Amino acid sequence: MANLTQQEFAQAVAFLAEDFGLQRLRDRFVRLNALVTRRRVASAQQLADQLYLLTAGLRRQIPATVAFQSIWTERINEKLGEEGEKALEALAEKINACLGERERIIPEKDAELDQALAEYARRLSDVIGRERAWLDMLLKAVPQVAAKLRATPVPQETAPTPDTPPAGSA
């Protein structure tokens, strides 16, 4: 599993806060023994900073790390559904087939890996959005694959302008 930067971690917490509400999210972390204080937090950034320091960027295996991973995975799986999960598992197997010893990318399979990553990202993005998909992929990626993902970051999602119809409308 790759390590998230503080900025990437803050974005992930912001997405969760957007989905659950900031105080409800904090309450979930308290219930999972990730936080010991019941004091409210002022912002998603403040909660992210606190969790990032506690977990050392998800490197420490402590309740806060497990709680974050559980909440994130639960939220993604809710949106995907069982069929979506199965489809992504098949694509993940294609990605893993491009990795060799010590989870390093097999040089001859680099193009195949790029294709599998693009398909995985497309499928996941269709359900949860590009930015969330990119973060989810980073959370699951081995270090070499994470470096590849970061070399070509996903563009920011933009809201349609008044002159532009929303995607999918004709």
pLDDT of residue 43: 95
pLDDT digits (tens, 9 = 90+) for 59-75: 999 999 999 999 999 99
pLDDT of residue 168: 46
- Chunked mean pLDDT (size 10), the chain, 170 residues: 87 96 95 87 94 92 95 95 93 94 92 95 95 95 93 60 45
Cα-trace Rg, the chain: 17
Q: d(Cα 126, Cα 91) in Å, to the nearest integer?
A: 15
pLDDT of residue 3: 82
Q: Answer yes or no: pTM beyond 0.95.
A: no
- Residues paired with residue 145 on neighbouring β-strands, in sequence order: none
Burial class for 87, CB neighbours closer than 10 Å (0-12, 13-18, 19+): middle
